[in-house]
Structure 1
Amino acid sequence: MEREKIVWAALVAIILFLVWKTLKELITPIVFGIAATYIAYPFYVKLGNKVGKKWSLIIVSAIVSLLSILFLIGVALWITDTLKNLYTYLDAFFSWLGTLKVPGALSSLFDAMATSFPEKLRGMLLQYTLSLPKLALQLIVFLAVFYATLANADFLAREVYELLPSTNREISERMLTKVKDTVDAILKTWLFFSVTKGFFLSIGFYVFKLSNAAGSIAAGILCIILELLPFMGGWIMWLIGAMLLWNRSPGVAVLFAIYGFIMISPLPDYTIKPKLTKHRAKVSSVVALVGIFGGIMAFGAVGIILGPIAIGLLFALIEVWKEYETKQPSKAHQSQDA
């Protein structure tokens, strides 16, 4: 019997090792494909109620495929110039941060980011720019995962709940709920909202001729980073843009400032964001910040998702353990019952 257990354990270990070696280079597109499905699922359901699930799947998949193709074309055309502009923006931004009088903890965090984040970002981007075929392959995997998970979302959700252990099932369900809350807060509100602001800032920089396409994309990326930082926001970028435009034309500068106020910050923070977060659990900005940037440092691009989830799970374990301990009868009470 013991020999049989050892054989099965060895077989499982070999299978897991082979699976890991097979998927190791594709973890990032797989995770992002699942994350994109999670974001798109509510839209897929609403559209399915109007046109049917089949057509909804086709339409949503077509939209995501088109965006992926445009992303690949953009990388091929502008990535080198975008990197140059981004490094220039980041250097100026972190130099400005160093002049601010902030609490010691934040100052240490900004110093650490100034020394490590640009290099980490550079490595993440260059690993794709040096191999566009690799990026194309990962986009294909991303689209395949997105289509498969979206088409089978209901089935996969049922399977996940059926796999939960029967013993201490309540704890497992709490953990799963915590993962959902964290992913909701990070993907559907904070990160999605930040990316949307970065997109509108890029459009504004290009339309108002503040920069070329590559420089506008770099400005949008920096806007996203600013939105993820506490006490910062995309308003810094449109304010800088308006100040640069003021020397050319005060009227155009005012128009750009109005555009930034309405489309980037702070108006969306008081009108759209509360509606997105109304029925969702809130995740601390510090937890999200440490999770996102710590995840990027540890895992690369996929750490944007894995980092906050890992920290969210840690807090869930602590909460569940505290509740479990408070429900346990004391030793004196146990003796009295005995």
Structure 2
Amino acid sequence: MEWDAPALVDTRDERPPIERRAVLRGGFYEMQARTLIERVPQVAGIAQSWGVSPYRGCAHACRGCGARAGHRALGLDAGRDFDTRVVVRANAVQRLRAELGRWDGTPLAVGVAGDCYQPAEDTYRLMPGLLTALMRAAVPYTVYTKSALALRDAALLAGPGAAVAVSIASVDERIRRTVEPGAPGAQARLELVAALVEAGVDCRVLMAPVLPLLADAADQLEATVRRVAATGARRVEPIVLRLPAATRDWYLDGLAREHPGLVERYEQLYDPQGLPSGDYERRIVGQIGQLAARYGLECGPPPPPARPLPQADQLALV
């Protein structure tokens, strides 16, 4: 008797890669990272070329977040999954310590694949260990966040080589509720900046992303710069919205629902790599630069930081 049939038991595992590699615990995908220091995509527009992210995905659900593509490599989608299925690199502190042992001191960005002070940090508390490791290795870094939870670590963030960039794209709450539905409001972030400055933290405002045709009117830009100046921050760093492939799809889907007349104009404004027109970007950054000067702020990315001295472990007194 001849058999021409498939195997009796199908052993293929068709789950997304993250579900095969991670443990689902408390609503988070908990996994062990093989590498923590990763290349920052050039399209991100920030000063650092390398970054560290204890979390991938972000509950802030910002439509224009440029980190969305990372979820596709995990077998998840770059839209709703990025907002709701957050990946925790549970061994982040141990991995960072190991990798810093052979790092050349190049400055690092912290929190580029997902806000490092999003709600998952309340549960996992990875940031104090990461900040301590960076301080002891004397590696300059900038934490990118929108969350007041950063105040918990203000003493560490005020240390040598540390800086914080708080993202405030606009003080127009109608816009914020649409494009950053899970993030704290602008007033809460302005208060965060003021509190960090008062605590001695090197804190600037990342005016990002500036949203073309939604939050780029002259009065909107001035309102944001004026209120940033009132916090005591010394610098504002503008970045116009980037739309790399995964982010572009999600952002334009929302735009088509809420402002369908703008979709064609966005298609004309952005190139295939997700970068806005150079003329448009120069005009917006120039406007913000003029406003910053009017209100006594420096504008643009800060100068490269000097590398601090390594921190030795403190010996107990006996």
Q: Normalized against structure 2, the TM-score is what?
A: 0.25
Report which of the two has the higher share of helix: 1
Q: Normalized against structure 1, the TM-score is what?
A: 0.24
Structure with the greater alpha carbon radius of gyration: 1
Report which of the two has the higher share of strand: 2
